[in-house]
Amino acid sequence: MATFGAAAVATNQNPNKSIEVSQPPSDSVSSLCFSPKANILVATSWDNQVRCWEISRSGTGVASVPKASISHDHPVLCSTWKDDGTTVFSGGCDKQVKMWPLLSGGQPVTVAMHDAPIKEVAWIPEMNLLATGSWDKTLKSSSVRSLCCAVECNDLAKWDNMCMWIVKRYWDTRQPNPVHTQQLPDRCYALTVRYPLMVVGTADRNLVVFNLQNPQTEFKRINSPLKYQTRCVAAFPDQQGFLVGSIEGRVGVHHLDDSQQSKNFTFKCHRDGSEIYSVNSLNFHPIHHTFATAGSDGAFNFWDKDSKQRLKAMSRCGQPIPCSTFNTDGSIFAYSVCYDWSKGAENHNPATAKTYIYLHLPQETEVKGKPRAGTSGRK
């Protein structure tokens, strides 16, 4: 595997002339997610913080305004929004998930716990459930519907009383009790949900598929089509399959239907000659259903799986890109540029390291699928 050498570090941090988000975290970013209802961006980071910015657009101009933040006791690894855009969930190395009623200005409440760090969290609106994946080799589902209703209360004293009653009703406050606990074959590394499809990537290259219409039973378990450790997964928008990315600069396109297996393929990416970098993030465009990859080479690219083409290759930034996300209409692509911890703490210098979050405004030609040369059109 390649390392991010001195030559790469010395290059321009923002060669794509993206818009820089103001007041970024003081340590590496671990996840990014936009509100499903507005251009509000949340980032989690290794400095134990969850931060929020309001992103505004005026023509081609984009501005970011820091709005609020909360703290965990240890580094935060993952985040997701509730579908109504009122609430953020975050989890990490303190082994707990916090529910932050961001829009109402309420205080965060612990709503789920594991026995090891929580790597992934996903809100499933069709089930009113929160799914959490951990290095304790379990996947847990927690019902937080009543809690989410309570955070809308404007009377803070009444809110505190409601919180205590609801937490005691749904969970033992010493150890929140999930609706369901699913044993995984190994540590959870990646998780994606497009109801009714959920895919969990674990250590040892396991990919566990669930049909959420029967959530307590595995639908299918397969070995990754990639030969190296799974880094990220993303369910197809039509729920017919998923993408998987590995630490070996490769992406697999996998269909679930046995009759569609001939459409499966893998491709190389995030490589520079003999240097090979991890694929850290996979994001489908919400409108065109093309997708983006971001990697430890400091680059992000846009692809069309149906025509098997790369639509746009962006210039490499001076540090890895550990995470990325589209906003709800696909007009903004947010990505972080910072140390990704792939070389461990011994290669991290807090005195010189700097973290960036950038906003790229995709052109339609970058993200809209097009027929492969020599074909008459897309089916």
Contact 343, 3 (CB under 8 A): yes
State how far the Cα of 37 lies from the Cα of 83, in Å rounded to an integer.
8
Give me the amino acid identity at 167.
V
How much is the pLDDT for 169?
A: 24
What mean pLDDT is predicted for residues 232-240? 98
Q: Is the pLDDT of residue 199 over 80?
A: yes
Q: Please name the residue ranges forming H helices in the chain.
A: 6-9, 145-150, 156-170, 364-367
Contact 89, 120 (CB under 8 A): no
Q: Is the pLDDT of residue 156 over 80?
A: no
Model confidence at 267, in pLDDT bands (50, 70, 90)? very high
Contact 326, 289 (CB under 8 A): no
Residue 301 DSSP code: E
Tell whether omega for the bond before 196 is within 30 degrees of 0, i.e. cis.
yes
33 vs 347, higher pLDDT: 33
How much is the pLDDT for 371?
A: 81
Q: Which residue has tokens 């949340």?
A: 42
What mean pLDDT is predicted for residues 206-217? 95
Least confident of 166-170, 188-192, 194-198, 218-222: 166-170
Average pLDDT, rounded, for the chain: 88
Q: Is the pLDDT of residue 137 over 90?
A: yes
Q: Is the pLDDT of residue 167 over 90?
A: no
> What residues does 132 pair with on adjacent strands?
121, 140
Q: Is the pLDDT of residue 173 over 90?
A: no
Q: Is the pLDDT of residue 79 over 80?
A: yes
